[in-house]
């Protein structure tokens, strides 16, 4: 039932001046991730295989194993071979993309993988057509002419390589399915509050600043902040966190997450392209569209490799002809070299691994903006971490409470709560949130900026002065200086640790000290420890004084501290660190943006400022520093996987090109491989590369 008591409108409400379509915006941003190739290749493959089976029945079933063909036997050898040509022609037409792309590359003097496939299948087909012509015009060819017919090999080559192409497309599509499913998590309608009435409107009509009501089990349609209620929110789709996260007033929620339990009202902050969901889709799409440096190296190698292979094939043909073999045998060996050398596995080695890695990162709240950023992250040797907001939470919190002799902790906390509740200073808020609630009434409250607060409380018929602030402020308010200095000495470890001491007094007598400091994130120690275990040098950057920085460093275990750094000096510090190794900068603030941009890899805490996020190469959606470790592990795993893929791609060619050329014929009693089996071997190599890349999905953080 509506909270307002007004009836809920059960149909989307038409609104003038409709804003940008929310769902359409997200869907448009996901189009770059759409797997349109796999369905096309699947249809192509099904047609090719169906026709190929019929072709193989005639070529091998009938001619080699005497399988029956019924009345078609009356057509004779020439007629049955003509049927083979027709079937092969249709199969080659279905897979004409190989020939179009291959010959375009050859005409531009930059032959590619498709060039080798087109040459291998094309030469097999044309050779067979020529001998079919001879069979029709020169009966002397007779049944012996069958040995020169390779229609089934031409058809088999393009069919098997289409299998490899489909595996490539499937592997890429598989990594983006989880992201595309996010779109379905955005509901088509939502309940909003307008003019003290609850209305169900289309998601497209929600406006920034509007209050949206989310009930248990409903999907959250926008990014916003909870203003009423508590809920357990399932954020697995965005952050990879398997357990629902408890959210209350003041906490942020994101579109595409689900309210598992509890009733909440949220104030809309972001819609459309500004939501976290849209940004994730955008970043992953951009990463998919870029190439890693190592991929460009592989492309250069492939650009040299293809013409070299064409040259080897021509040389193989010439050698066998010179050695006395007939043209049919020499051509078979040359075609086998062309087909088995097709560097599809080489071309797949990097992009498939990058696509899988991007998907794994996105599912775990780690967004790589480009393919290059994945590779660079895997090479990181130094990690520089901003202190405030990265290693620490960025907000002060009470760390210690010290009471004077004869004063109970409760008495100190009650006075502190009464005083600090009236102040908006961050330290006052930290003290107030730590102290227990109090009903103590105060009068004549006064705040002196940069010093402290004071007020009066009534005890019986007497007005008693209470004070809170720094030591100098208390001395000005007639607190005994000797006593104050004694307490300062007893609590001097607070200042050594970089903590701020707030002194409290009542009726001219000191009550005690409450120490406040920027609290260290719960995961900072573990993250820094893991980074060091991975052999990474850790550095903390801060504008704080040296003593404060060293205190934080001793608690977290960072290797090096660079303190008292002005915002405009951070970029210069990063520049110096980069001279010693591949450097990543982790930060969250506007003042971190230049350093994030300068570093080899800029890593932004997701909850940080928009400027920091825009300046970074990697964004940690969960705002957890432990995700820095995950990002580097994922980068290293991806690099290792790419190297494995490249090794097997080259090893495969080194091993099988001599076999295809017939180099082992005399050594091992006729070891060689036909063009048909060469195409199968090439597809198996592509399959192995794709499967190896998919192993990145198994990484455990």
CATH (domain of 452): 3.40.1110.10
Asked which of 222, 256, 273 is the last residue of a domain, the reply is 273
Residue 451 neighbours by CB distance under 10 Å: 15
User: 312 Cβ partners below 8 Å, 6+ apart?
Assistant: 337, 341, 657, 661
User: 52 Cβ partners below 8 Å, 6+ apart?
Assistant: 87, 91, 152, 155, 156, 159
pTM value is: 0.62
Q: Are residues 530 and 627 in the same domain?
A: yes
Q: Are residues 403 and 506 in the same domain?
A: yes
Residue 533, pLDDT score: 94
Asked which of 467, 489, 520 is the last residue of a domain, the reply is 520
Phi, psi of 146 (to 5 degrees): -60, -35
Task: Let me know if residue 544 belongs to a domain.
Answer: yes
Q: Are residues 197 and 262 in the same domain?
A: yes
Q: Are residues 535 and 500 in the same domain?
A: no
Cα separation, 227 vs 230, in Å, equals: 9
Residue 13, pLDDT score: 42
Residue 338 neighbours by CB distance under 10 Å: 29
In this predicted structure, the answer to whether residue 537 has a pLDDT above a threshold of 90 is yes
Cα separation, 330 vs 339, in Å, equals: 15
Higher local confidence (pLDDT), 426 or 285: 426
* pLDDT tens per residue, range 377-419: 999 999 999 887 788 876 788 888 999 888 888 888 888 988 8
Phi, psi of 109 (to 5 degrees): 60, 30
Residue 384, pLDDT score: 93
Q: Which of 386, 518, 588, 600 is catalytic?
A: 386
Task: Let me know if residue 387 belongs to a domain.
Answer: yes
Q: Are residues 412 and 558 in the same domain?
A: no
Q: Are residues 559 and 416 in the same domain?
A: no
Cα separation, 641 vs 430, in Å, equals: 48
| Kind plus residue range of the DSSP H or E element containing 180 | helix 151-183
Domain that holds residue 268: 22-29+188-273
Asked which of 495, 520, 545 is the last residue of a domain, the reply is 520
Q: What is the CATH number of the domain that holds 562?
A: 3.40.50.1000
| Per-residue pLDDT band at 295 (split at 50, 70, 90) | low
| 268 within 8 A of 156, measured Cβ to Cβ | no
Is 386 tagged catalytic?
yes
* pLDDT tens per residue, range 343-354: 555 666 777 787
Edge to edge, the sheet with strand 258-261 lists 245-247, 231-234, 258-261
Edge to edge, the sheet with strand 618-620 lists 366-368, 618-620, 601-605, 583-587, 382-386, 537-541, 560-562
HEC profile of 53-100: HHHHHHHHHHCCCCCCCHHHHHHHHHHHHHHHHHHHHHHHHHCCHHHH
| Per-residue pLDDT band at 173 (split at 50, 70, 90) | low
Helix (H, G, I), strand (E, B) or coil at 208: coil
Q: Are residues 629 and 534 in the same domain?
A: yes
Task: Let me know if residue 317 belongs to a domain.
Answer: no
Task: Let me know if residue 15 belongs to a domain.
Answer: no
Task: Let me know if residue 64 belongs to a domain.
Answer: no
Number of domains in the chain: 3
Task: Let me know if residue 102 belongs to a domain.
Answer: no
Q: How many helices (H) and strands (E) does the chain have?
A: 24, 22
Cα separation, 21 vs 17, in Å, equals: 11
Q: Are residues 610 and 549 in the same domain?
A: yes
Q: Are residues 446 and 478 in the same domain?
A: yes
- The region of weakest confidence among 84-93, 218-227, 497-506, 678-687 is 678-687
DSSP state of 436: P
Q: Are residues 387 and 397 in the same domain?
A: no
Cα separation, 446 vs 444, in Å, equals: 6
DSSP state of 218: P
Task: Let me know if residue 398 belongs to a domain.
Answer: yes
Give how far the C-alpha of residue 324 lies from the chain's centroid of Cα atoms, to the nearest Å.
58
Q: What angle do CA 689, 694, 699 make, to 5 degrees?
A: 130
Task: Let me know if residue 259 belongs to a domain.
Answer: yes
* pLDDT tens per residue, range 614-627: 668 888 888 888 99
DSSP state of 536: -
User: 23 Cβ partners below 8 Å, 6+ apart?
Assistant: 183, 186, 188, 203, 204
Q: Are residues 374 and 461 in the same domain?
A: no
Beta strands in 606-691 (DSSP E): 618-620
Q: Are residues 530 and 599 in the same domain?
A: yes
């Amino acid at each position: 039932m509506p909270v307002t008591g007004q009836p809920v409108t059960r149909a989307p409400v038409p609104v003038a001046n409709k804003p940008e379509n929310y769902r359409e915006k997200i869907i448009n941003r996901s189009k770059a991730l759409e797997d349109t190739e796999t369905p096309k290749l699947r249809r192509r493959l099904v047609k090719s295989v169906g026709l190929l089976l019929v072709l193989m029945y005639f070529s091998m079933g009938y001619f080699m194993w005497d399988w029956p063909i019924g009345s078609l036997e009356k057509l004779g050898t020439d007629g049955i071979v003509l049927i083979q040509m027709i079937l092969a022609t249709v199969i080659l037409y279905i897979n004409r993309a190989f020939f179009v792309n291959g010959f375009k590359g050859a005409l531009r003097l930059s032959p590619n993988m498709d060039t080798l496939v087109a040459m291998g299948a094309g030469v097999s087909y044309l050779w067979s057509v020529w001998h079919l012509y001879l069979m029709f015009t020169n009966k002397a060819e007779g049944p012996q002419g069958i040995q020169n017919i390779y229609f089934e090999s031409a058809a088999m080559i393009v069919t098997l390589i289409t299998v490899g192409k489909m595996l490539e497309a499937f592997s890429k599509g598989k990594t983006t399915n989880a992201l595309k499913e996010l779109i379905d998590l955005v509901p088509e309608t939502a309940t909003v509050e307008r003019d003290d009435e609850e209305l169900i409107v289309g998601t497209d009509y929600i406006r920034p600043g509007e209050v949206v009501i989310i009930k248990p089990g409903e999907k959250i349609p926008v990014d916003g902040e909870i203003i009423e209620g508590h809920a357990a929110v399932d954020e697995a789709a965005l952050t990879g966190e398997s357990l629902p996260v408890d959210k209350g007033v003041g906490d942020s929620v994101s579109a595409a997450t689900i309210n598992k339990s509890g009733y909440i009202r949220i104030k809309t902050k972001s819609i459309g392209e500004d939501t976290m969901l849209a940004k994730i889709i955008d970043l992953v799409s951009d990463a998919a569209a870029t190439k890693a440096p190592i991929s460009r190296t592989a492309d250069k190698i492939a650009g040299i490799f293809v013409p070299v292979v064409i040259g080897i094939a021509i040389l193989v043909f010439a050698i066998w002809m010179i050695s006395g073999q007939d043209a049919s045998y020499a051509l078979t060996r040359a075609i086998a070299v062309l087909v088995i050398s097709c560097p599809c596995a080489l071309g797949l080695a990097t992009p498939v691994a990058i696509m899988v890695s991007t998907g794994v990162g996105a599912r775990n709240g780690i967004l790589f903006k480009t393919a290059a950023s994945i590779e660079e992250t895997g090479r990181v040797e130094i990690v520089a971490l901003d202190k405030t907001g990265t290693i620490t939470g960025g907000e002060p919190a009470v760390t210690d409470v010290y009471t004077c002799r004869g004063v109970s902790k409760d008495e100190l906390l009650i006075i502190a709560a009464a005083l600090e509740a009236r102040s908006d200073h961050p330290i006052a808020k930290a003290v107030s949130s730590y102290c227990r609630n109090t009903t103590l009434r105060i009068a004549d409250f006064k705040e002196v900026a940069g010093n402290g607060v004071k007020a009066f409380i009534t005890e019986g018929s007497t007005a008693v002065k209470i004070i809170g602030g720094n030591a100098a402020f208390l001395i000005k308010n007639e607190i005994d200086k000797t006593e104050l200095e004694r307490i300062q000495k007893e609590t001097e470890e607070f200042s050594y640790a970089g903590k701020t001491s707030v002194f409290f007094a009542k009726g001219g007598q000191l009550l005690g000290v409450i120490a406040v400091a920027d609290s260290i994130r719960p995961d900072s120690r573990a993250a820094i420890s893991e980074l060091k275990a991975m052999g990474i040098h850790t550095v903390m950057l801060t504008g704080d004084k040296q003593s404060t920085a060293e205190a934080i460093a001793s608690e977290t275990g960072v290797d090096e501290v660079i303190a008292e750094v002005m915002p405009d000096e951070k970029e210069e510090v990063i520049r110096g660190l980069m001279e010693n190794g591949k450097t990543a900068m982790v930060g969250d603030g506007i003042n971190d943006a230049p350093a994030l941009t300068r570093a080899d890899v800029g890593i932004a805490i997701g909850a940080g400022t928009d400027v920091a996020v825009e300046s970074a190469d990697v964004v940690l959606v969960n705002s957890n520093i432990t995700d820095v470790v995950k990002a580097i592990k994922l980068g290293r795993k991806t690099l290792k996987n790419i190297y494995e893929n490249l090794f097997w791609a080259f090893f495969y060619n080194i091993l099988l090109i001599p076999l295809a050329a017939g180099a082992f014929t005399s050594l091992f009693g006729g070891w060689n491989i036909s063009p048909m089996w060469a195409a199968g071997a090439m597809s198996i190599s592509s399959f192995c590369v794709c499967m190896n890349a998919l192993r990145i999905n198994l990484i455990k953080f």
